[in-house]
Amino acid sequence: MMGLQAAQGALHFGATSAAMLVAFAVCEGINDVMRVGQTMLPAPHALFLPYGVLVICAWMYGWAALPLLFPAALLSVFLMAGGIAFEPLIMVLLLAKMIAVPVAFDVLRWVGRDARGAGTAANWKMLMVLGLIGSVLGNVPRVAYGPCCGGMDLTGMLQTYANVVASDMAGLLGVLVVVMLFFRVLRHG
């Protein structure tokens, strides 16, 4: 019985890690194409697909999504940015953004809107609301303390904040569309 549970845990870890790594890779590919000729570094993402993976996994696994996804997210940041990924500030900012999504689920559950209730099918509108709350909460530390915004004035920080929230929401919408199409194909064979 323990062997089966370990195998299932490894399968869940592998599947969520693969989804996060693929989302980062596709996101970077899309952004590389969009950045041609752009000189601003670091260039903002227009579509942050890993956030969509995070929201879907948080809906499926709750707080257990964090240990499933954090290693892959950290590896992805390392592959994109190098050794900076292992600086304590970057790890704390990454974890803060990831924690914000399960917090959003809990907040809505406490006010009577449980998106993870027993037998509850995914409601894309509710997932978008949850994603927005999580993004709004999770990006405050990034913009306030992250290396992206160090020398910015308040206007620049607010613009960056709006951009990263919009990027998260576009990424969530993109992942939701892919997931819905995947399940539609499964249903209709």
The per-residue pLDDT for range 2-33, each reduced to its tens digit, is 677 878 888 989 999 999 999 999 988 887 77
Per-residue model confidence (pLDDT) at position 41: 46
Per-residue model confidence (pLDDT) at position 36: 59
Domain ranges of the chain: 46-188
DSSP annotation string for the chain:
-HHHHHHHHHHHHHHHHHHHHHHHHHHHHHHHHHTTT---SSPPPS--HHHHHHHHHHHHHGGGHHHHHHHHHHHHHHHHHGGGGGSHHHHHHHHHHHHHHHHHHHHHHHTT--TT-TTPPP-HHHHHHHHHHHHHHHHHHHHHHSGGGTT--HHHHHHHHHHHHHHHHHHHHHHHHHHHHHHHHHHH-
For the chain of 189 residues, list the mean pLDDT of each consecutive stretch of 10: 78 91 90 64 73 95 94 91 90 95 93 74 85 96 87 90 94 94 88
